[in-house]
Amino acid sequence: MMIDESEKKEEKDEKLLVNLCECFSLLNVKEIPDELIPICVTCLLKATSEKQGNEETQKEMETAILTLSYIARYCKIEKKLYLNEIKKIIKCNQEHHNMTQLAYQSAWKFLICRFVRDESLEEVVVDELHFAREAIKELEELAKCVDWKSEKEKEKRKKEKQEELILLRWLRTLNRYFRRCKLWNEEYSELIGSIVQIYRASRDNYRDICHQCIYYFVNAAENRAVKVDDLLKGRAVDTVLEEMQLQTLNKYETYEFLLFCIKISRRLKEEEEDEAEEAKRKINKRRVFEMMEEEGYEDVIVSFYGKIYYIIRYSSKFTLNISDYLVNI
């Protein structure tokens, strides 16, 4: 039906074609056949370009953008099919704020999913569209709408639930990007601090959000483009060290926090060839060492010895040598 409708020269039913593309894309979230990708992407992007400012058209436009965001990152899409249009959508909202938070996040999610397959997009994402700056702004706005201190009550907090889900989508999109990003600037350094604030606010009552923040810390620690200095300035390191002392940590959190610490430890043990970077590494090494001393981190690691033994049975990323988790000077 999609192919037949898209190939019509006359009397083409554009609305029917959009509906077909939306249904097909959402039903095939894992992978869309190559021959149908141009039809779906072109049709959905065309639906987002409608400029009639009525409420019905606005909803149709935003549904099309939401559907685009569900096209899996595994689907290969040629840049000429989407790049100019998705840039227009993002820039238009940056200037006019004419989209809902969900639709704006969906436009970014679609672009970042394309970046996972095509790293040549990073310059557009970082320098032209300012992904980190926009993420900070959106996360701050969404965080204001969540009652972090209240226990979740599904029936009473429908609006906050909506913002919670959009915030989660932002964090998952950030995690996708951080696994592969190579360009780094001050905006991303500030983003670390924003994630730390959300983690601290969410850890009591919003475990899904909390866990996405932990993923972010680990991805940032693993990514060589992210400097240890940025993790220190953003308070990611001292936050993890503080959390390690809590008796309420589950096996998942223990695993991720240990992974973060061992990655930081290994990076600080690697000497730099550049003199300025080597001097900075030594300063950071001492700072992390002093934090570990202050938090009694070595005692915490010893107390986790049994858990570490359990964890390494399922992961080659850990060792039973306690010194591997520490920073020595």
pLDDT given at position 297: 87
Residue 249 is assigned to a structural domain of this protein: yes
CA atoms within 13 A on the CB side of 134: 22
In a domain, 211, yes or no: yes
Residue spans of alpha helices (H) in 153-222: 158-178, 186-202, 207-222
* Residues 221 and 242 reside in one and the same domain: no
SS3 58: helix
Whole-number percent of the chain with pLDDT over 70: 91
75 lies in the same domain as 139 = no
- Write down which residue in 195, 226, 257 finishes a domain: 226
- Residue 285 domain flag: yes
Average pLDDT, integer, range 204-232:
92
pLDDT digits (tens, 9 = 90+) for 27-73: 876 778 888 899 999 999 988 875 556 777 888 889 999 999 998 78
Q: Same domain for 92 and 134?
A: no
- For residues 218 and 34, the model is more confident at 218
Report yes or no: 37 and 77 within 8 Å, Cβ to Cβ.
yes
Domain identity same for 58 and 84:
yes
Q: What is the number of structural domains in the chain?
A: 3
For residue range 138-161, what is the model confidence (pLDDT) as tens digits? Answer: 999 999 988 887 665 544 555 557
> What is the span of the domain harbouring residue 56?
1-110
pLDDT for res 214: 93
Beta strands in 231-292 (DSSP E): none
Mean pLDDT along residues 208-230: 92
User: Are residues 214 and 266 part of one domain?
Assistant: no
Residues 205-212, mean pLDDT to the nearest whole number: 90
Q: Are 244 and 311 in contact (CB under 8 A)?
A: no
CA distance readout (Å), 154 to 36, 144, 171, 203: 39, 19, 21, 18
Query: Which tokens in the block code for residue 42?
Result: 């072109």
121 assigned to some structural domain: no
Give the mean model confidence (pLDDT) for residues 154-178: 81
Q: Is residue 178 part of a domain?
A: yes
Q: What is the pTM of this model?
A: 0.88
Q: What gap in Å lies between CA 189 and CA 229, rounded to an integer?
A: 9
Domain boundary among 110, 143, 158: 110
End-of-domain residue from the set 79, 110, 141: 110
Residues 219 and 137 in one domain: yes
Rounded distance between C-alpha atoms, residue 99 and residue 86, angstroms? 13
Q: Are residues 99 and 25 in the same domain?
A: yes
The set of residues, in sequence order, having a beta carbon less than 8 Å from that of 135 and lying 6+ positions away, is 108, 170, 173, 174, 191, 194
Do 202 and 260 fall into the same domain?
no
Q: Does 249 share its domain with 219?
A: no
Q: Is residue 160 part of a domain?
A: yes
Q: Clarify whether residues 42 and 99 are in a common domain.
A: yes
Distances in Å between the alpha carbon of 283 and those of 121, 212, 248, 275, 279?
35, 30, 32, 13, 6
Which one, of 215, 149, 227, 218, lies nearest residue 182 by Cα? Answer: 227
| 100 pLDDT tier (thresholds 50, 70, 90) | very high
Residues 204 and 158 in one domain: yes
Establish if 115 belongs to a structural domain: no
